[in-house]
Structure 1
């Protein structure tokens, strides 16, 4: 009878240990997803802070390109007003990317603007910020993948259901420049 109680106690302790370990794993993954989203948010705010400086620099050279400047200003305001929802944020940031592409296309028509030290520095800073956003997006999406896999996998999905752990949303871009196949010329 004692052996049965010891085995039963061992089984109960193993199950409780597994539940605690699985729960703590979910907490860790959820915190990683939140932390990585905050890193994206920091870079998006940096991007939003650079855009007004870029617009004011371009205004001095291309005052009659008001439509492009207004489109970028509106896209930035829309994107800066969002937070928390990766899907909506990605859509808004896609609009900002398209508007920035339009602005840089306009800049191609103004050689003196392209030669401006302020414009070149802002363009460099924006490119660096875009690179950091892309790197942080990859890190965030990897953490989302790990969390979602654990939420959906058996038997951890039982613990996820009991403690209301849900799938996280990926931060995906619809920017055609990001999705385009690079052109290679020889």
Structure 2
């Protein structure tokens, strides 16, 4: 009886020594994955805010530059593409397309000095610039969270736990090809 009890205790200790690190690693991966999901939701929120501001911005510009229909169509199409994005890569591509269309719209604005003096236009511009800055920060936060998560899931012994429980690699938020340079926007001229 005494020898059997020692074996049972030894088995329980061995199981605990194996289970505790697995549970800790699993919980750590869950926390990091939730951080990635939260960062992605933050990007979604700010992209939606920008999308909500764009119609007012376009309508204000249309009031002064109604003949510029092509650029208004490009902005609308890019905005719809962003709204229909199904994953982070599609979202990044659509975001780059919308940013490109907005930068072309801002070039059009340069031809209308009276528009730049419009208070509604200036207010919308400030809101859009602030939103663009928040989006840039959110992208960086997302990429930091993804890097931390992917590093944890690839390191030994976390990689064993990650594969056992199906923790998949997360993609970084990458700019689309040709979107390496951020357009310079200056309304002070």
TM-score computed with the length of structure 2 as normaliser: 0.88
Tell me the equivalent position of 2:61.
58
Q: How many Å separate the matches in 2 of 1:135 and 1:3?
A: 57
Aligned residues: 179
Helix, strand or coil at the partner of 1:166: coil
Please give the root-mean-square deviation of Cα atoms over the aligned residues, in Å. 1.9
Q: How many Å separate the matches in 1 of 2:147 and 2:183?
A: 20
Q: How many Å separate the matches in 2 of 1:178 and 1:111?
A: 23
Tell me the equivalent position of 2:39.
36
Tell me the equivalent position of 1:184.
none
Does 2:99 correspond to 1:113? no
Render the CA deviation track for 1:118-173: whole Å, top value 9, x for unaligned: 11111110000011011111111111111111111111100111111010111122
Q: How many Å separate the matches in 2 of 1:142 and 1:179?
A: 24
**Distance apart, 1:5 and its partner CA:** 6.2
**Distance apart, 1:15 and its partner CA:** 1.1
Q: How many Å separate the matches in 2 of 1:24 and 1:36?
A: 18
Q: How many Å separate the matches in 1 of 2:132 and 2:12?
A: 55
Q: How many Å separate the matches in 2 of 1:151 and 1:96?
A: 33
Task: Give 5+ residue unaligned stretches, structure 2.
Answer: 185-189
Tell me the equivalent position of 1:67.
70
TM-score computed with the length of structure 1 as normaliser: 0.90
Q: How many Å separate the matches in 2 of 1:171 and 1:95?
A: 14
Task: Give 5+ residue unaligned stretches, structure 1.
Answer: 181-186
Candidates 125, 143, 147, aligned match of 2:127: 125
Helix, strand or coil at the partner of 1:177: coil
Alignment of 1:150-165 (within 5 A): 150-165=152-167
Q: How many Å separate the matches in 2 of 1:3 and 1:43?
A: 60
Tell me the equivalent position of 2:187.
none
Helix, strand or coil at the partner of 2:170: coil
Q: How many Å separate the matches in 2 of 1:153 and 1:4?
A: 34
Candidates 83, 87, 90, aligned match of 1:88: 90
**Distance apart, 1:7 and its partner CA:** 5.2
